[in-house]
Structure 1
Amino acid sequence: MLNLNSPDDNSNRNSLQDPVSLNVGGEIYTTTLDTLTRCRDSMLGAMFTGQIPVLRDNAGNVFIDRDGRVFRYILNYLRSSSLDLPDGFSELNLLRREADFYQIHPLLEEIRHYEASVALGLRGGPLGAMVIVNFDSKVRVLHFNLRHGPENYELCTCSVRAFTVDLFCTWGAFLALLCERFSYRTSQGLTSPQPCNLGQSRLKLEWVPRPDELPQDQYDKQRYRGLFVINLEATRSDDTINMHQGPCEITNMQTFVEELLKVSLAEGFKVDLVTPDTAEILNCTSLRLVKG
């Protein structure tokens, strides 16, 4: 027999005390109110702050008539803010449906990223895979004529900063991901960088952000190109995964290092060596990452 507590019943809130026991589709879980209300705007947040009624089973456990097996992954996400799935996890559709039912939007976003990684063949990968990156930047001074009229020219000077990243990776699929994540913008539009060698183990990126004082035609004349990060977001329609791209320009090396670390750590890499100072990783000249 199930008992229904009204959200207006003060005894409902008083009865919700740590630890909380839940019966989810026949599976019993024990956790805390803090964990269950971690996402306040979710259905669980509403249930365990007294905004909507809760059901109880004969043993007094809060009862939720949903799939009990995948709820463990939802609960662990609320505990750690990390989506941890076993290798070969085959119930992603069910997990996404349950996360949507509970309206846990950050978890839905994590699932979308997970699907994108699966689509690119990145889940798993060889342990001990290594990424070695060297960073460099130089200031160049340009002189150009700025035309004000038919015979009226002004000699102008402008400084630009040229960035270079030389990256070596022993895992080809990860290098392919980087080529998907970063793109050059030229006068012809966005284009993906390509590995430097047939073995697809080395990637060299060179770009120059255009300063405001440098006219676009002069920038193009120098054959400079900008570098953009492409934020991949996967959405599913039936069995099709669609990638939506939102380019954002990289105007300094710190932003590039931050994006590189974001992608690398998400794929299981760990920082192994930072030169010259570990405490200044965003300003480093070289970096080594190892997949753990």
Structure 2
Amino acid sequence: MSEPITLNVGGKLYTTSLKTLTRFPESMLGLMFDGALSTSKDRQGNYFIDRDGKMFRYILNFLRTSHLDLPVDFQELDLLNREADFFQIQPLLEALQKIKSPVTKIKKNVMLNIIHDSYLHTVGSYTVKIVTVQVFSTSCALLKLLNSKFYYVFNGDNLSTGTNLEDSKFISLEWAENTGSRMERHYVMQNWKSLYVSPSHQQIQNLEMFVQQIIKTAVDGGFLLHSIPSVSSVPVILHFTQY
């Protein structure tokens, strides 16, 4: 059995197990506690989540039993729905939807994290920037969409990114920023690849352009962007809504 895990949710402490927190792997909690998303801790070393502590009681009980048990006079369905939406626990959202209205269409909040890094590689008198990114999302549909749009070009050939989403919950990419045709021979020698995006078949010049193409691809695919992210932050965090 795994050791107990204590959470500080909005100032209220809850103790549970890793198995319970990862019961739904595609939920926010599932991604947080399998290492796909970053976590933070309070001064006592408890995992800290800045959400409604009172509502988390019902969320945790649902994770334990897969049943939504609410008091007869429960009056905070909208608040509980917002919390379930944040944690992206789809079975709980569906259970709440049955209580509220069987005909209202459920909207799904989607988070996408881009963890990025870069380093400089010098060849002779030229310096090339190599960019690495890992793209995580709470939506498998969004990850599959993005994975289908980006591709490499190496020595004149188009190559897939090589990410198998059946075995992974993220997309991992590495490319060399464009330095012009004078470096083509070095690209081949160093096994560097250029990154492109379809259907425009534009070459990704830098991280800023990569994030722009992520947003464009998601929006074209039916995801509504909530706010413009800061590309300088690590990770770059994007919030979407999918209907």
Larger Rg over CA atoms:
1
Higher share in strand: 1
Q: What TM-score, normalized to structure 1?
A: 0.41
Q: What TM-score, normalized to structure 2?
A: 0.49
